[in-house]
Structure 1
């Protein structure tokens, strides 16, 4: 059983919207795009314990807190969340037969009704639509909510008109068991998952084991009921005797000493849920401590271990698992292992994340980009890479794509040298108090290495389709761009051909010769200086300095480029104008508020070669 579509109305920041999911899904989008809201919505509909909380929803669960009727003549606003479940097991189809509807994968919507007595479909598949409804009950001055089968409607007369859900039949707790829904929140994951509270991972394990062996809570209460510390500990026994002798002066009590006992619990299920703790010892060290005293990373690894347990208990492909930000306090290799496990063993994994180590484990077709506008309308769409981007290329660039997916904007460049150079210039602009500039790390700008100048235009439509603001920059190619490449460049908010055959030519042309001399002197003593380039003669001309600087830069390209070292020798006024202008223009596009243009420094302004003083 899998979630195919989630339709949300008037819930939290979402006024309306649909999210389509297919198999395992990774939800991505900017902050406040609605990722957590979608997960919370799923729990309201499918969660076994969620409706036991009081209140089920509150004022802030209604979009813009509009939960009351405008006047006596209008109905109160309802929260409505509909979930369509597909890939139903044979057992689920039998149990929910009267509530199924045909589903069309081509239209991602309900298909025309089948005959009343139809058992098989000519095309398409059966789906189970279920819905959560929540509202404010003015008569009780409280909120109410419940889950229902969304199909069919009951005949009139079988329900009261003011009943929540009205003509819909309740979707009860026993029905939800067939969904196998689990939800892990961020931050609270460890404390919540490893407690014995309702809906926790351990509670799920206790419930599954109880289905096989009988109630574990009953067994625990029986075992604890036999423990009396006053019987086994002399000090407590003496206290009991003293208390008994005094209490009997004022209260009639049985003659037996057992009239007073000292027990470790109230001996109720709810109290046990509150006080029971798992004690765990981790290395280094051997002494077990309560789980909530462990590190956050250790807690999340324990959560991973419990997930393997639940997967074994429920059987393969039988869990719908929603998880927010699994990367919290986990090293990259554990993030990858966790994601690989849930996608390999759960029936469906629905994950939100800001980690490229998580995102790279999902195929592009499994990544769903969420966007929410100012009116609260939520939209979703999968990532489309186009026909020209081969799977091999995507696999090679997974990490880059993952970071781009998380960004507000993407600057596509032609090589690794351009990436490190632009970042070095961005650092310099950010360090200059006289320049209004937001660093790419703050602005949410990701730099993407396309691999060549002719590849740059191709990525414009790809990132634009993701809803990103896209920029492109490259050298002057050896052959003009094709008409198709020219068309692709229209997807860029800014697209420039820098006018030079290589970035080294741009740098040595736009950076003053004096700076290049300082650069050559500085790098000549480095162990990785290209010896074949030789040294700059003492009486060398500016042209000789440019030629040697160009040669050295070309010998040290890529991620180990010397270009950032050249940028480090520049004052603010000595930075290459073409790239500075590009970065400031991108800053204007990404800034939430307009900024005044940065005037160039006066020609007689003091210059410094120390960027820390710039």
Structure 2
């Protein structure tokens, strides 16, 4: 069985949503937009005891304290084994064929205690209001790996190592191992040094305890109980250079990589594995390795991530993007074919970084990115602090390929664009509506292009000197190109024409070095863009 749909209303961090959960679900977005809250709500509905619900939930989880917080989870694809614990809870859809199971959690502020809540969790289409039984919770097969995982994830009481060892079938060797453990414990108990140690322990404890104790009241033995689990005190070690090294002694990255891999292996019988930030401590290549493991067939994965390398390994249909306002977006079924057409070229870590940002600035090329970043710096607007990423498209015509992914009907981050005047019509039309509602609000148009704007801002001679000082060209080259004998005679038009012909990126890099607050403000389209970005970040 797997989760097919999720609906959450009136949560403090997340805007109301009702989304389809496809094969897997990868939840992505900037920091502090509510991604982990989605996993938390799922864990409360599917993997927490009733007592745990009252410990974890507070009135602060409700956006409107006068309304209930409601979480609905739909399941489908049942096996015969899945059906047995739900004899009256599984429903038949309107098509008279499809089966589904709806479980609901409803949280309300307590009417008489402002610091308390009431919680109901039940199957609303079952004809009864009983809470899920322990057997039913176990049949959900929900397993959750938090972002705050520690070393206990490797070797704790409920770690995947312990789960794997507990599932090991020792066969006929189990009896012989029990005999060996008993013999070991017996030899240990007869050892004179151990007996002397226990005598000293008993003597000292007798001074503090209400009754005296003797060495016969204690035993030194293996933690593993030969009568139950002979592997209780056994662990997995790595063989390195002739030594056996504990998994806990590995690097943070190696531990995380092993813990995720072992978690996936140990929980192979689970229906749904939920993992918050699988990329923690991992190098990008290891992030891709883990993502390949998680994105395969088998049980359903629900993942929260900031990593474009993890995101890239999943299908666009499986991605749920959370924007800066807490709204969830996914590509609609009617748009998936259009996205698939451009996937080979655009489903890359560079573009997917946009889904982890609060704001996305699309520009035509690298030269535009250099100028945008420089102008923002000179105007005191920190793009990184605002959570803004600048994505270069390698040509204005590529915008129509990217817009289905990043536009309002795609993954929906807050999108701004910078484009030359000649190419602007398609960009403005893509957003739809009145051009007056788009220009200088979402699309910012350079007149006639960015090279014209920054040479006008600096003046032709200053721009020419910047090219020379930055090593972009020799003085003679730009004088010959401009048809003049002195730098002060180089016009704005000729300076712009020269850098278009000889190399826009190198020219933009030189210009970025000489900008100050005054000249940055004069590059009108870019200044308006970053000012608008700053304004949006304050809303």
Pairwise same-fold verdict (TM > 0.5): yes
Correspondence 1:201 to 2:160? yes
Q: Deviations over 1:177-222 (max 9, x none)?
A: 443322111131x424213334x43354355447x979x9xx9999
1:447 equivalenced with 2:408 (yes/no): no
Name which of 509, 514, 517 aligns with 1:569. 514
Distance 1:292 1:409, change over 3 A: same
> Which residue pairs with 1:302 in the alignment?
258
| Counterpart check, 1:101 vs 2:44 | no
Determine the C-alpha separation between the residues in 1 that align with 2:239 and 2:507.
46
Report the Cα offset of residue 350 of structure 1.
0.7
Offset, 1:370: 3.6
Cα distance in 2 for residues equivalent to 1:423 and 1:290: 47
Aligned match of 2:442: 494
Structure number with higher helix proportion: 2
TM-score by length of 1: 0.70
CA positional deviation for 1:342: 1.2
1:360 Cα deviation after fit: 2.1
Structure 2 contact 374–512 (Cα < 8 Å) conserved: yes
CA deviations 1:484-531 (Å, max 9, x no partner) are 55847655633232121x43333323223443243233233xxxx579
Instruction: Write out per-residue CA displacement over residues 391-412 of structure 1, whole angstroms, 9 at most, x where no aligned residue.
Output: 3433322234312222222222
Pick from 424, 443, 456 the counterpart of residue 509 of structure 1: 456
- Is 1:590 aligned to residue 522 of structure 2? no
Q: CA contact under 8 A between 2:466 and 2:510: conserved in structure 1?
A: yes
Match of 2:133 among 172, 177, 184: 172
- 2:310 matched to which residue of 1? 358
Runs ≥4 residues deviating over 6 A? 133-139, 141-146, 219-222, 244-254, 266-269, 530-533
Say whether the 8 Å CA contact 1:414–1:473 is kept in structure 2.
Answer: yes
Residue 415 of structure 1 contacts residue 449 of structure 1 at CA under 8 Å; is this kept in 2?
yes
- Other-structure match for 2:376: 426
Asked if the contact 1:221/1:267 (under 8 Å) is kept, the reply is: no
Question: C-alpha distance in 1, partners of 2:182/2:374?
Answer: 66
- Report what 1:51 is aligned to: 49
- Give the direction of change, closer, same or farther, for the CA distance of 1:192–1:478 in structure 2 (3 Å limit): closer
Matches of 2:180 and 2:248, distance apart in 1: 26
Answering whether residue 319 of structure 2 is matched by residue 367 of structure 1, we say yes
SS in 2 for 1:152: coil
Q: Aligned ranges for residues 106-145 of structure 1 at < 5 Å?
A: 111=94, 122-123=96-97, 125-132=98-105
Alpha-carbon RMSD: 4.7
Counterpart position of 2:407:
463
**Which residue, 327, 331, 350 being the options, matches 1:383?**
331
What residue ranges of structure 2 are gaps of 5+ in the alignment? none
Note if 1:521 corresponds to 2:473: no
Deviation sequence 1:240-261 (CA, Å, 0-9, x none): 345668999997989xx75532
Aligned residue for 1:477, secondary structure, equals helix
* Structure 1 stretches lacking a partner, 5+ long: 71-76, 104-110, 112-120, 155-166, 431-437, 594-614
- Contact between 2:140 and 2:271, CA under 8 Å: does it hold in 1? yes
Instruction: Write out per-residue CA displacement over residues 404-453 of structure 1, whole angstroms, 9 at most, x where no aligned residue.
Output: 222222222222221222122223333xxxxxxx3221112222334433
Deviations 1:304-325 (A, max 9, x none): 33035336x53xxx63111111
TM-score, with length taken from structure 2:
0.78
CA contact (8 A) 1:14 1:63 kept: no
SS in 2 for 1:464: coil
- Which of 572, 575, 578 lines up with 2:524 in the alignment? 578
